[in-house]
Amino acid sequence: MMVLETLFVTTARTKRRVRESSCSINLAKQTATFRLTSYAALHLTITVLLAARRAYAFVLSSTLKDSRNLSAEITRLFSTTTSAPTVTVTLSHTDFNAAAASTPSSSQEQDEVPPVIFLHGLLGSKRNFASIGTSLAKQQQPSRQHRRILGVDLRNHGETSKQPCSSMNYQDMAGDVLEFMNQQSIPRAVLIGHSMGGKVGQACALLEPKRVDGLVVLDIAPVSYSSEDAHWKAVQDIIQTMCQVQVGPGVTKAQVDLQLRNAVPDPALRAFVLTNLEQRKGGECQWKIPIETIADQLEQLAAFDVPTSHQYHGDVFFIHGGQSRFVKSSYLGRIGEYFPNHLLTTIRGAGHWIHAEAPDDTTALLKRYLNR
């Protein structure tokens, strides 16, 4: 049983202004009793309290021309304080230790260090890090504690796309990763993310710094991109072309490849895009991922929705492709604001997909970071 008691006290100045407008506002003491039978009721009660507090502050500080202004403002306050709860998505994952046959003994399990979780980029999947993840698992030094090496499919990607989700902002996707860690009984992890996955990793570190033991970001910055950036415009064009490609019964993978050729002239990049295409029973060719939803969320994916008031003081390693434009010198100030203890290095001959274009260099840098 909770009693909510709100007393609106009108100052002398407010009374005078109200009298001049020929309006009398009698704000009396009101008592309401709420029976909290569920979490939803508690959430609603807190929402009402916050809205009432903001309305009270408005009465004391605002110039009221007439009573209709007050009514309209209070209506706006109550209508904008309620938000839908965040819904997490269960992420499909793989264990690269199993592929490397490096399962720890029972004694090693007791001394396990924070695992590594790989986070792929847009249109990618956990398979993108299969080679590097397996290599890191094999190269673990016997004298060191065992470390799990995992990869996940982010929402609307890979096997996780079987649970399509309409929202793809980075705070929500970070929530998916943190919930995955809860499900796997992982209190802290080292996150390694490329492009979109790099932004997800940065959001995790900024929102829940105690859960992140280290962070490696592959060729992306915590900034908002736009169609004025040629590199992001190219991404938009690829997604839009995928939406327009004719798929369905009688359409082969070779025909889809031909339709993509103008928008994606690079054969390697086109092959990467086509990993999201599947030939279903009966010969029907369809996208495995909800491409229309991803297209609708491009603005969210281009942005970075974590306030600059957040900081992560752990070790952050940015690896930039020398031929890529996703990390510019003008972004270094924002990187420093979020991550005071960061180091940035460049693989000169690589582009945006540095882990695919320079796997040996990327693996060597990751190994050095993990063994620091």
Instruction: Note the pLDDT tens digit of each residue in 19-53.
Output: 444 433 333 333 333 333 343 443 444 444 444 44
- Extract the tokens encoding 97: 């230790």
| pLDDT band of 65, cuts 50, 70, 90 | very low
Least confident segment among 106-110, 256-260, 342-346:
106-110
The residue written with tokens 């986070």 in the block is 119
pLDDT at 102 over 70: no
pLDDT score recorded for residue 72: 39
| pLDDT band of 56, cuts 50, 70, 90 | very low
pLDDT score recorded for residue 2: 37
Distance CA 352, CA 290 (A): 24
pLDDT at 196 over 80: yes
pLDDT score recorded for residue 98: 83
Cα angle 110-191-153, degrees, rounded to a multiple of 5: 100
Q: Which residues are catalytic?
A: 195, 292, 352
Distance CA 288, CA 276 (A): 5
Q: What is the mean pLDDT of residues 185-189?
A: 97
pLDDT score recorded for residue 191: 98
Q: Tell how strand 147-152 and strand 93-95 pair up.
A: antiparallel
Q: What is the mean pLDDT of residues 53-68?
A: 39
Q: Tell how strand 285-287 and strand 277-279 pair up.
A: antiparallel
Write the pLDDT tens digit of every residue in 200-231. 999 999 999 999 999 999 999 999 999 999 99
Q: What is the mean pLDDT of residues 341-362?
A: 96
pLDDT score recorded for residue 372: 86
pLDDT at 350 over 70: yes
| pLDDT band of 101, cuts 50, 70, 90 | low
Question: Can you tell me whether residue 46 is helix, strand or coil?
Answer: helix
Q: What percent of the chain has pLDDT over 90?
A: 65
Counts for the chain of helices (H) and strands (E), in that order:
16, 11
Q: What is the mean pLDDT of residues 149-155?
A: 97
pLDDT at 143 over 90: no
pLDDT at 198 over 80: yes
pLDDT score recorded for residue 55: 43
pLDDT score recorded for residue 86: 66
Write the pLDDT tens digit of every residue in 259-311. 999 889 999 999 999 999 998 877 788 999 999 999 999 999 999 999 999 99
Question: Average pLDDT over the chain, rounded to whole?
Answer: 80
pLDDT at 258 over 80: yes
Helix 230-244 / helix 253-260 crossing angle, nearest 10 deg = 140
Residue that wins the pLDDT comparison between 4 and 260:
260
| pLDDT band of 141, cuts 50, 70, 90 | low
Write the pLDDT tens digit of every residue in 359-370. 999 999 999 999
DSSP 289-344: S-HHHHHHTHHHHHS--S-TT----S-EEEEEETT-SSS-GGGHHHHHHH-SSEEE
Q: What percent of the chain has pLDDT over 70?
A: 72
Q: What is the mean pLDDT of residues 176-202?
A: 98
- Contact (Cβ atoms closer than 8 angstroms) between residue 218 and residue 212: no
